[in-house]
Amino acid sequence: MEKPCLSIVVPCYNEESVLGAFYEEITKTAESIRDKVECEFLFVDDGSKDRTLEILKELAGKDERVSYVSFSRNFGKESGIYAGLSNAVGDYVVLMDADLQHPPCYIPEMLDAILSGEYDSVAMRRVDREGEGKIRSWFSSMFYKFNKKISGVDIVEGATDYRMMTRQMVDAVLDMPEYNRFTKGIFAWVGFRTKWIGYHNVERVAGETKWSFGSLLSYSINGIVSFSTVPLAISSFLGVFFCIFSFVMMIWLIIKTLIFGNPVSGYPTIVTVILFMSGLQLLMFGVLGQYISRSYMEGKHRPIYIAREKKVKGSVAGAEGVRGGKLAKTAADDKADAVAAEVDATDSSESEEKQA
């Protein structure tokens, strides 16, 4: 009986210093589960500027289990995750980082939970943030709590991208080909039975993190905007509140003027109110702009990534994510196919009439 395949998807960006150590660890793990599954190692080079791609080619040359996709430029980790899931051919898929902050030693436990049939996904969550700054840890904790309250999507605090999924769940994730991706939210949104395993934070084996505070803040905003319209509702609420407040103030000023006259006073108050209201308006315009800009980018139907070169199993090279050996099509592609089919049908009908 043929054993099922486990695809291990690893997004990489400038990871030349850790790839050797990661490959050594992941092959040991693969050896420990070889009686249950066959393993595929799929690396996604996110436009690295160091020797990452060169090392991946060397690994692929000596180990047929190693596959890789190399982007034409840096598209970001979310695109790397999508490309990895799109090109994975396994019955089960593991998503993890190359820096060994996602310890491979948990894969056997994750696999056992999946094979039991009780779960469709096994995900890892950090129970602490040892080694991280207190301010960064606090902001991260607040993000999870805030996002959970306003989005209705249950993103577990400390959740990481490190998880194993069945093919059914992977296909469900790939059926959401949105351009502005927030994978943690997508994993939670598609549902499925998920088992959570806690682990203590592990620092990078080598190299430096690619996530600055600014990039994490941008990522957090993307996560909130992608799964919640509450910020827009808050903007509307504040608009109604200040309209009522301004009307009450107008009535009060009229009454005050009629009773006490109209002495020239209150200049600092007026300036403060004007500056405050102007800042509030700009803030609300910014919130609205976040949603409009994402709709604008989605409307362009640009590919999530562009592969410059690849060595993968059972896929077709192209400028978009690949799943099941076919290019993942956009809505524009579907419309074009429908038009082409209609033209073919018309031509066929005319040909039959001529023959008659």
Report yes or no on 152 lying in a domain: yes
The whole-number average pLDDT for the span 77-87 is 87
pLDDT of residue 262: 61
Instruction: Assess whether 137 and 27 both reside in one domain.
Output: yes
Contact 298, 226 (CB under 8 A): no
Report yes or no on 305 lying in a domain: no
39 pLDDT exceeds 80?
Answer: yes
Instruction: Assess whether 38 and 76 both reside in one domain.
Output: yes
Report yes or no on 224 lying in a domain: no
Instruction: Assess whether 237 and 103 both reside in one domain.
Output: no
pLDDT of residue 93: 92
Instruction: Assess whether 132 and 176 both reside in one domain.
Output: yes
| Prediction pTM value | 0.66
Boundaries of domain holding 338: 329-356
Domains held by the chain: number? 3
Instruction: Assess whether 189 and 249 both reside in one domain.
Output: no
Nearest one of 76, 31, 3 to 84, comparing CA atoms = 76
Burial pattern 17-37, b for ≥16 Cβ within 10 A else e, equals: bbbeebbeebbebbeebeeeb
210 pLDDT exceeds 70?
Answer: no
Q: Considering only 187-201, 256-270, 304-318, which range has the smallest mean pLDDT?
A: 256-270
Q: Report the interhelical angle of 134-151 vs 213-227 (nearest 10°).
A: 10
Which residue did the predictor score with more confidence, 130 or 85? 85
**pLDDT, tens digit, 9 for 90 and up, residues 108-133:** 888 988 888 888 889 888 877 665 66
Contact 71, 45 (CB under 8 A): yes
The whole-number average pLDDT for the span 143-167 is 75
Instruction: Assess whether 246 and 128 both reside in one domain.
Output: no
Domain limit, last residue, from 300, 321, 347? 300
What mean pLDDT, rounded, does the chain reach? 74
**CATH at 73:** 3.90.550.10
Q: Considering only 120-129, 221-230, 234-243, 289-298, which range has the smallest mean pLDDT?
A: 221-230
Contact 94, 123 (CB under 8 A): no
Report yes or no on 132 lying in a domain: yes
